[in-house]
Amino acid sequence: MTDRRELPEYPTTFPAVIALESHGPDTWVGRSPKYRWGRVYGGQVVAQALRAALQTVDEEFHPHSLHAYFIRGGNYDEPIRFEVDRLRDGRSFCTRAVVARQSGGAILHLSCSFQRTEAEADVQTARMPLVPAPEDMQDPTDGWPWIMERRAMKIYPGASKSIGWVRLSDPLGDDPSLHVCGLAFTSDTLQFPAARSLHPLRAPEADHHEVFVGASLDHAMWFHRPVRADDWHLYEWECRGLQGARGMTVGNLFSQDGTHVASIAQEVLLRERRI
């Protein structure tokens, strides 16, 4: 592991976050921004793990799904090592597994599948909800002054839903692999309000960190159609219920023109703080 005294400055742009350094066969190392909440953002590790897996597949293969377990919180003062296992290479699909590690052990396990583009039926049934434009939604004050911008609708008790526009702040160019990693980065966001809205403790948004312990537990994403991660895209989350300090959230992701870009499912930890 790299000596902490030799580490470069914390990255502050998405291109810097996603720029992994090769450390031997099928192994890459990435860095983390310094987040105000004290640990690594989960979407960052998912995006970096997907980026590492993309380094091992031919360019005609594109991600169509990923499944990740968040094993332990990451330390932003340490580099993260991504080890890729080439599980299968087929004519139409290939599969990879990635383990993200720090000195304390594994922090994330991700499996992802890639497919060659096929000229088959393209039918969309999901419909984007009618929502205000991004500039007409509230801007959450949550420690994202860089990398990612968010505009969210107000959530009311019992709503079980959360909706908001998200985009990456930095232009990404035209490389589709950067945009799909960018979507993975933004995908771990806006789901907690949907779960918290169902909780019997009606804590104000400003106090939720004092009332609850929260974390992403596992995460799945299916990529349907391309979109630019540096343009506004809409997340629509629904919490299907709370049980055992876990909330089950499912979501749809739309581009601004209403194209259904991706489907997402995540189970979140929502535990009452007990003194």
**Residues tagged active-site:** 188, 216, 266
189-198 burial: b if 16+ Cβ within 10 Å, else e: bbbbbbbbbb
Q: Nearest-CA neighbor of 47 among 89, 17, 77?
A: 17
15 sits in which H/E element:
helix 14-18
Q: What angle do CA 135, 219, 90 make, to 5 degrees?
A: 115
Per-residue exposure over 54-70, b if at least 16 CB sit within 10 Å of its own CB, e if not = bebbeeebbbbbbbbeb
* Sign of the four-CA dihedral 63, 67, 71, 73: positive
CA separation, residue 117 to residues 56, 60, 224, 229, 230 (Å): 17, 7, 11, 20, 23
DSSP single-letter state for residue 153: -
Coil vs helix vs strand at 87: strand
Q: Which of 230, 227, 220 is nearest to 251 (CA)?
A: 220
